[in-house]
Amino acid sequence: MKASTAAVLALSLATATQAVRAQDTAALMSETRKTATPVLPKVVQAMQTAVQEQGPVAAISICKEQAPQLLQEMRQQTGWAIRRVSLKARNATTGTPDAWEARQLAEFNIQAANGAELQHLEVGEIVVTDNGQRQFRYMKALPAIAVCQTCHGPADSLPPELRAALAKDYPHDRATGYVAGEIRGALSVTRPL
């Protein structure tokens, strides 16, 4: 076979492999989105009701207990790793991103700064871990909409009793200072393949 023919063949094989991967990724993405994201508007709704009806201090339990509980149930149902992460975590133990997540969060921030529609920012990718395991990784941005700023807005805008309650539980809180149009964090899903 002539070298040029071999090169063309190699190229078309690579393109075919890429096309299969793109198809895989699209299917995994849509399944992951369908399974993992319906919980998000439910949490926002619960948060809005709690802030309105019980005030911000009582509403802390939505972000602190209810949201993690719903994700825990989903982890049990699916066997996937599902969590919330942020570049400026309030709960550093559970919310600190790994390298892949931190890169996607930075990319979301760039897209947000360029006027992307925050509600639709998401990413999905098949990755191979250091020990050779294939995974599908998915992230969806969580925009800092108005209600989030009650507890994640500029620190001096938070009512004193709320600031005191947060300082007690989170002495190393980095999750304040957010304004509308920014990304608070993301829902992150890792599926072994």
Choose one: 7-15, 72-80, 113-121, 147-155; the region binding ligand HEC (CB under 6 A).
Answer: 147-155
Number of Cβ atoms within 10 Å of the Cβ of 133: 10
Size of the site for ligand HEC (CB under 6 A): 26
- By CB under 6 A, the residues from 151 to 180 that bind ligand HEC are 151-152, 175
Q: At 42, phi and psi to the nearest 5?
A: -65, -40
178 and 152 in contact (C-beta within 8 Å)? Answer: yes
Among the listed residues 87, 147, 158, 189, the single contact to ligand HEC using CB under 6 A: 147
Q: Does 188 bind ligand HEC (CB under 6 A)?
A: no
Site string for ligand HEC, 80-99 (x = CB under 6 A): ----x-x--xxx--xx----
Site string for ligand HEC, 38-67 (x = CB under 6 A): ------x--x---x----x--xx--xx---
Question: What Cα–Cα distance (Å) separates residue 174 from each residue in 74, 115, 126?
Answer: 27, 24, 31
- By CB under 6 A, the residues from 100 to 139 that bind ligand HEC are none
> What is residue 182's DSSP assignment?
S
Among the listed residues 32, 104, 150, 188, the single contact to ligand HEC using CB under 6 A: 150
| Chain centroid to CA 167 | 24
155 and 163 in contact (C-beta within 8 Å)? Answer: yes
Question: Which residue do the tokens 């020990």 mark?
Answer: 131
Q: Facing residues of 187 across strands?
A: 84, 140
123 membership: H or E segment, kind and range: strand 122-128
Choose one: 73-81, 104-112, 114-122, 149-157; the region binding ligand HEC (CB under 6 A).
Answer: 149-157
Q: Which is nearer to ligand HEC, 102 or 145 (CB)?
A: 145
Cα–Cα distance measured from residue 143 to residue 157, given in angstroms and rounded to the nearest whole number: 19
- By CB under 6 A, the residues from 4 to 23 that bind ligand HEC are none
Cα–Cα distance measured from residue 2 to residue 35, given in angstroms and rounded to the nearest whole number: 50
> In whole angstroms, how close is the CB of 9 to ligand HEC at the nearest point?
48
Enumerate binding residues for ligand HEC (CB under 6 A). Answer: 44, 47, 51, 56, 59-60, 63-64, 68, 84, 86, 89-91, 94-95, 142, 145, 147-148, 150-152, 175, 184-185
